[in-house]
Amino acid sequence: MANPNTKFLVVDDFSTMRRIVRNLLKELGYNNVEEAEDGVIALNKLKGGGFEFVVSDWNMPNMDGLTMLQHIRADPEIKHLPVLMVTAEAKKENIIAAAQAGANGYVVKPFTAATLDEKLAKIFEKLEKASA
């Protein structure tokens, strides 16, 4: 497991899903979790600094997850942030678009706790290798 103090931002317009992801992260040992209900709010929070990981939905009002991801990758201050997409969008072109935009992982809803755990572990592992 990575640092338990890793600061997460969970972005989803449905509060139920934000709570579920937050609880799953807590169960995995990550207690430092904040929430945002769309891409605009999320970007504002991210620019405020301190975040180390983003878990985001795709389909949201105001700014969707893909646009948010593109903004993150275009901003030198936050472009290094790992972004895991957790979304109901299941078309192949969605997955390809997310990968091309620089997503670090893609989890399709409905998902299990084990899947989230596995994807997080994989991303942390890759990050460690990259920084080593």
Partner 1 sequence: MINSESLQQQTLLTPQVQDAPAHDDMLNRIGHVTRTLHDSLRGLGLDKIMDQVAHDIPDARDRLKYVAKMTEQAAERVLNATDAAMPLQDDILSQASVLEARWKAILANASVKSEYNEIANETLAYLAATNKNSTDTKALLMDIMMAQDFQDLTGQVIKKITSLAQDLERQLVQVLIDFSPNSPANTKKEPDVQLMNGPQIDPENTPDVVASQEQVDDLLDSLGF
Main-chain dihedrals φ then ψ at residue 31, nearest 5 degrees: -100, -10
CB 69 within 8 A of CB 88: no
* Residues 8-27 close enough to bind partner 1 by CB under 8 A: 12, 14, 16-17, 19-20, 23-24, 27
Stretch that binds partner 1, among 3-11, 36-44, 75-83, 104-112 (CB under 8 A): 104-112
What are the angstrom distances between the C-alpha of 18 and each of 39, 44, 96? 14, 18, 24
CB 82 within 8 A of CB 35: no
Note whether 111 binds partner 1 by CB under 8 A. Answer: yes
Stretch that binds partner 1, among 2-10, 33-41, 68-76, 99-107 (CB under 8 A): 99-107
Among 43, 78, 106, 120, binds partner 1 (CB under 8 A): 106
* Residue among 91, 29, 22 at smallest CA distance from 58: 91
- Tell the smallest beta-carbon distance from residue 47 to partner 1 (Å): 25
Q: Which is nearer to partner 1, 111 or 124 (CB)?
A: 111
Note whether 62 binds partner 1 by CB under 8 A. Answer: no
Among 91, 129, 131, 132, binds partner 1 (CB under 8 A): 91
**Sheet containing 8-11: which strands, arranged edge to edge?**
33-36, 8-11, 53-56, 83-87, 105-108
